[in-house]
């Protein structure tokens, strides 16, 4: 045996430098959703907190949405697109097996020196991406990372399914992550429970649909109560572990920005974690719906725009959903 493999080391710390988001133009009200399902505006508001959501246009793709959010984040970061060394795209709604959404988004925003790949962790995808970006920057695998969370769930939802049609929506959020003097991303607490793949799933694979046919095109189905119970029972413990791992307590927080799954899940987490009264909590679901991997950066960008949080604030993030998969960390707001 001869020779020793050299290894790289990266920046001592990293942080989120900027956030940007994109909301598609079309507002879809509960009344419109109820044209196809036996439900009501009142029920949807009470059970999910959703008043309206956005749907992308038919010809607007996951890549189109992602590019819009990425351009805003890049512009705000001041980082030259050519200096981005990795583009990560968290999505489960890009309709092609290959190439990835990331390679297309990287090209279209001018990140032509970047490696690029997609992350398939559904609603946990954005926080998975932050965990990966943090590790890559500190090991020297990347210097600047563009992370996009983007979904066009309207393509994969059955508008006649009353257990899911009202909840999911379209949107995109993006962040640029880069080296910093002091840590801006705490340890990521993450995991996956493959015993519950049935909780959020597809009716068929595209291959089954081609070979065997099916009444309608393959789409998402969700066992809402099963996911709800898991989220409310387990996610406060995960978020607490992320807080502990960062060496902080709830009193150190300036904001709580959970995945926008359901307003009642957010409320239950706030109660279970005994978060301080008056702590700003993301409630973007009311007008944005559940946008899976896009929901956390969309909510963060809105809270900044509304003056609910400020640059430098400490926020607790948690993403959770299909898999079932979850990831949580504490970050400094860009």
Catalytic residues, by residue number, are 123, 259, 290
Distances (CA, A) of 21 to 73, 74, 127, 149, 326: 7, 11, 16, 9, 22
CB of 284 to ligand UT7, least distance (A): 13
Rule CB under 6 A: which residues touch ligand UT7?
37, 39, 43, 47-48, 123, 162-163, 166-167, 224-225, 227-228, 231, 261-262, 265, 290, 292, 321
CB of 34 to ligand UT7, least distance (A): 8
Within 10 A of 3 (CB to CB), how many other CB atoms are there?
Answer: 5
CB of 199 to ligand UT7, least distance (A): 8
CB of 323 to ligand UT7, least distance (A): 10
The DSSP letter of residue 189 is: E
Structure tokens at 188: 């990521």
By residue count, the chain amounts to: 334
Residue 88 in contact with residue 148, Cβ under 8 Å?
yes
* Strand runs labelled E in the chain: 13-22, 26-29, 52-55, 86-90, 115-119, 145-152, 170-180, 189-192, 200-202, 220-222, 255-258, 314-321, 325-332
β-pair partners for 52: 29
């Amino acid at each position: 045996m001869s020779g020793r493999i050299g290894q790289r080391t990266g920046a001592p710390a990293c942080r989120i430098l900027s956030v940007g988001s994109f909301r598609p133009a079309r507002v879809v009200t509960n009344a419109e959703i109820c044209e196809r399902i036996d439900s009501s505006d009142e029920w949807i508001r009470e059970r999910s907190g959703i008043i309206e959501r956005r749907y992308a246009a038919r010809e607007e793709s996951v890549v189109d949405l992602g590019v819009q959010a990425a351009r805003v984040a890049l512009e705000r970061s001041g980082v030259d697109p050519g200096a981005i060394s990795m583009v990560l795209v968290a999505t489960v709604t890009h309709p092609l097996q290959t190439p990835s959404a990331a390679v297309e988004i990287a090209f279209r925003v001018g990140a032509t020196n970047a490696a690029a790949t997609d992350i398939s962790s559904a609603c946990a995808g954005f926080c998975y991406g932050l965990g990966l970006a943090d590790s890559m920057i500190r090991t020297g695998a990347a210097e600047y990372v563009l992370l996009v969370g983007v979904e066009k769930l309207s393509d994969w939802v059955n508008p006649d399914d009353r257990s899911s049609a009202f909840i999911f929506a379209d949107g995109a959020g993006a962040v640029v992550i880069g080296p910093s003097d002091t840590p801006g991303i705490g340890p990521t607490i993450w995991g996956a429970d493959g015993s519950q793949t049935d909780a959020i799933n597809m009716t068929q694979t595209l291959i089954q649909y081609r070979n065997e046919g099916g009444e309608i095109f393959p789409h998402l189905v969700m066992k809402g109560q099963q996911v709800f119970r898991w989220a409310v029972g387990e996610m406060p413990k995960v978020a607490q572990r992320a807080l502990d791992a960062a060496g902080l307590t709830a009193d150190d927080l300036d904001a709580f920005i959970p995945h926008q799954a359901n307003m009642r899940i957010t409320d239950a987490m706030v109660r279970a974690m005994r978060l301080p009264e008056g702590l700003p909590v993301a409630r973007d679901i009311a007008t944005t719906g559940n946008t899976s991997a896009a929901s956390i950066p969309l909510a963060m960008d809105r809270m900044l725009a509304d003056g609910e949080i400020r640059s430098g604030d400490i926020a607790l993030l948690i993403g959770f959903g299909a898999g079932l998969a979850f990831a949580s960390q504490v970050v400094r707001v860009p």
